[in-house]
Amino acid sequence: QSLLRFVNWCETTHFRLRILFTPWGEALVRKHYRDAFVRISHVQNVIELGIQTNLSRDPTWLEKADRESVSLWCTYHPSQVSRARFLRRLERLLQMRIRFSVGMVALREDLAEVREMHRLLGQLERNSGQPIHFWLNAYDERPPSYYGPQEVDILTAIDPHFAFNLQPTPSLGARCRAGIGAVSVDARGDARPCH
């Protein structure tokens, strides 16, 4: 009900919208999320529409979406899906001309996988002629010495913004667009200034 209420609001508001869905869990395995995403993509005042996904669902459902507004934030978890399957889904997105980025949590045990994914995404980018941004998140629950200097150098060479994850910028009290140019809407439909 809340999602439908949000879709209806998107269709009737006069605001120009840029929307990013960041669900807890994988929303796109649920038909009502896929249907809502496609419907919102066709709303004239929706400039950009994105969603975080692990690509566990075949992306062919996006054929019904407005590809000018849609993009995906694709997270690769080597423990949850095979690299080959994930890459096949990315190739399908490229064929469909759907914009996307790919990211991973930079776990130390996945360092070889991070490097290989970086190499393979470079090949996909060259073969398709479409840009593919690859980003890395620092492992949140890490002890202070989790990454050594050599690992930080390797990960920063892959994603120049990786170091920002290691020491997030304090934001409490800082100027931002929260509540003015950006809001967060939870699953119940409640809006807040921050995520």
- What is the average pLDDT value for the chain, to the nearest integer? 91
pLDDT of residue 185: 72
pLDDT for residue 169 is more than 80:
no
Structural domain total, the chain: 1
For 133-142, write each residue's pLDDT tens digit.
999 999 988 9
- Give the CATH number of the domain where residue 9 resides: 3.20.20.70
Which residues span the domain enclosing 119? Answer: 2-192
Confidence of residue 187 (pLDDT cuts 50, 70, 90): low
The pTM of this model reads 0.89
> CB–CB of 45/16 below 8 Å?
yes
In the Cβ-directed half-sphere of 128, how many Cα atoms lie within 13 Å?
19
The pLDDT of 91-101, averaged and rounded, is 97
